[in-house]
Structure 1
Amino acid sequence: MADVLLYHHIQGLTDGVRVFADELRTAGHTVHTPDLFDGRTFGSLEDGFAFVREQGFDAIRKRGADAAEGLGSGLVYAGFSFGVTIAQQLAQTRPGARGALLMYSCIPVSEFGEAWPEGVPVQVHGKEGDEYFDEDLPAARELVASTPDAELFIYPGDQHLFADSSLDAYDPEASALLMQRVRAFLAAL
C-alpha cells in the first residue's frame, strides 16, 4: 500500500477532498491531507486565489513543503489544481518519491529541474474544456512525451474541480473514472 501526501485545491481542504482521501484510505493506503489554509474553505476559485495572494503564494507553498518533513521518503505526492504546484515540486526535487498524481494541473518540468526523475511514475488528469487545465495541457503533453512512466488522462467536459463531491463542478462519472485510475496507479507501486 502507498503512503500519499495529498494537497488540496485553491478552495481549501473541502469535504470533497476529504471524501477523496477517505476513498483511498478505504483501499488501504495511508493518506496525509495537510490543511494549508488553517481550516478556511472558499465558495469560489476567485475567493481562494484572493486568500492565497493575501497570504503569499510562496508562504503557502512553503507550508505545503514543510508538511512533507517528518513523513520520510517513499511518498506519492498528489495534488488538486493549486496543490499540484507543491506536489509536483516535491515529486521532482525530494529524494525517494514513489510517484505523483497531478489533478487538474501540470507545471512545466523545467520549473523544478531539468527532467522528470527517472523511475517516478506520474499521472495527469484534467478536463478537455477546462480553461485552467487548457493552459497546462502543453506541459502535461511534454511530460508524457519525455517520461516513460507518465500517463495523461483527459475527460470530456469543462469543469475544473470535477472530482470534488462538495462543489458544483462535481462530475460523478468522470470522478469515478479518475478514482479507478488513481487506485490502479497506487496498487501498481
Structure 2
Amino acid sequence: MKRSDPQIAPGAFKLYDAYAHGDLSRRDFLEGLRTYAIGGLTVSALAGALLPDYANAQQTETGDPRLIEADLLYASPEGAGEMSGYLVRPAGEAAPRGGVLVIHENRGLNPHIRDVARRAALAGYVAFAPDALHPLGGYPGTDDEGRTLQRQRDRGEMLEDFIAAAQVLRDHPACTGRVAAVGFCYGGAVANELAVRLDWLAGAVPYYGGWPDPADAQAVRAPLQIHLAELDDRVNAGWPDWRDALNEAGAPYELFMYEGAQHGFHNDTTARFDPEQAALAWSRTLAFFDRVLSV
C-alpha cells in the first residue's frame, strides 16, 4: 500500500506519525488502528502497510560492484568519544569527490538510510552515514528498539557526533573537502543545526526536520534546500518562524512544499512513500549537490 491507497485513512497516518516519533506506545498505536480497520482490513494488515518493509523496498544493494563500502570508526571528542559510520563511494580510480553526510531519523542507521547513502554514492559522491546508536551497540535491527535506544542518548552529544562526522568526511582523502548534509526527520533537524554550527559547510538539505532557534539564523552561511510535506502539520508549524528569521538574516534558502504528501514521503519503506514526489525531491537534492559541491 502506498500513500494514495484509499484503504489507509489520514487518521491512520497520524497515528503512525505519533508512534514513529515516540508520542504513542506500540500498544496504543495498534489499539488506535482499530478505528480504521474497516471493510475487511484487519489491524495487522493495516499495521503491516504502515510499518517499514526494509526487505522489499531497497533501491540499491550492499555489495554493488560499482561501490566501495566500509564501516568506519571515528573520534567524536565532544560527543560520545568513539563513533561509527557507513562510508560508501564510487569504485575505481578517481579524483576526490564531493562529500554527502547522510543523517538518519530517530531510530539509528537502519537499512533505508544505508540505501540512501548508496544512492548518493551512485550519483558520484562520497557518502558518510553515521550511526548515533554506536555507543549503545549500533542499530539493533528493528526501528522499535532503535527509537528506544536513541531516546537514551543526549541530543547535544549526538549533534556533536554528527559535527565530528562532517569533519571526518571533509578531511577524508576521497573527499574534495566540500561537504553537504542531507537528513530526514530527526536528521533534517540535525542538517538545519549543522548549517548553524559549521560555517564551512557547503550546503544542507533538511527533509521535514525540526527547526533551530530563530535567533541562530544569523549564523547560517550555507545554502539550504528545504523539503516539506503539505500534510505534516507537526513540522510545518515551526516553519514560519524559521523562514522569517532566515529572511531577516539574508540567509540563502529555497523551500519546496509537496502537495498532498505525508511526513516521511521520501522513505520508500512505508505507506507514506509518495513515488512521484520522492523522485522529484531527490532530483532536486542531487541538482543542489551538483551546484554546491562542484564549486
- Residue of structure 2 equivalent to 1:155: 258
Q: Alignment length, in residue pairs?
A: 185
**How many angstroms does 1:97 deviate by?**
1.0
2:205 is paired with a residue whose SS is strand
Residues 129-166 of structure 1 show CA distances to partners (whole Å, capped at 9, x for unaligned) of 11332233224533563446310001023521111122
Kindly indicate whether the alpha-carbon contact (under 8 Å) linking 1:127 and 1:156 is maintained by their aligned counterparts in 2. Answer: yes
Instruction: Select between 153-162 and 35-44 the one with higher mean Cα deviation.
Output: 35-44
Structure 1 residue corresponding to 2:179, chosen from 71, 75, 80: 75
CA distance in 1, matches of 2:241, 2:210: 6
**How many angstroms does 1:30 deviate by?**
1.3
Instruction: Select between 167-176 and 68-77 the one with higher mean Cα deviation.
Output: 68-77
**How many angstroms does 1:41 deviate by?**
5.4
Residues 18-46 of structure 1 show CA distances to partners (whole Å, capped at 9, x for unaligned) of 222222211111111111121235546xx
- Residue of structure 2 equivalent to 1:164: 267
TM-score, normalised relative to structure 2: 0.55
1:55 is paired with a residue whose SS is coil
CA distance in 2, matches of 1:92, 1:41: 32
> 1:14-53 counterparts in 2 under 5 A?
14-37=110-133, 38-40=138-140, 42-43=142-143, 49-53=147-151
Kindly indicate whether the alpha-carbon contact (under 8 Å) linking 2:211 and 2:239 is maintained by their aligned counterparts in 1. Answer: no
**How many angstroms does 1:177 deviate by?**
0.6
CA distance in 2, matches of 1:135, 1:48: 26
2:150 is paired with a residue whose SS is helix
Residues 88-138 of structure 1 show CA distances to partners (whole Å, capped at 9, x for unaligned) of 222222231111111112414536x351434x2110001011133223322
TM-score, normalised relative to structure 1: 0.83
Q: Return closer, same or farther for 1:151/1:23 CA change in 2, 3 Å cut-off.
A: same
Matched to 1:178, the amino acid is A
CA distance in 2, matches of 1:76, 1:184: 12
1:70 is paired with a residue whose SS is helix
Residues 1:95 and 2:189 aligned together: no
Identity %: 26
Q: Return closer, same or farther for 1:182/1:41 CA change in 2, 3 Å cut-off.
A: farther
CA distance in 1, matches of 2:143, 2:147: 11
Residues 1:59 and 2:157 aligned together: yes
Residues 1:133 and 2:217 aligned together: no
CA distance in 2, matches of 1:78, 1:23: 12
Matched to 1:174, the amino acid is Q
CA distance in 2, matches of 1:35, 1:68: 13
CA distance in 1, matches of 2:194, 2:262: 26
CA distance in 2, matches of 1:108, 1:168: 29
Residues 36-65 of structure 1 show CA distances to partners (whole Å, capped at 9, x for unaligned) of 121235546xx6554333223233323222
CA distance in 2, matches of 1:67, 1:41: 22
- Residue of structure 1 equivalent to 2:85: none
- Residue of structure 2 equivalent to 1:182: 285
CA distance in 1, matches of 2:232, 2:100: 26
Q: Return closer, same or farther for 1:94/1:108 CA change in 2, 3 Å cut-off.
A: closer
CA distance in 2, matches of 1:41, 1:35: 13
> 1:98-137 counterparts in 2 under 5 A?
98-108=202-212, 110=214, 113-118=216-221, 120-137=222-239
Gapped regions of structure 2 (runs ≥ 5)? 1-96, 171-176
Instruction: Select between 69-78 and 161-170 the one with higher mean Cα deviation.
Output: 69-78
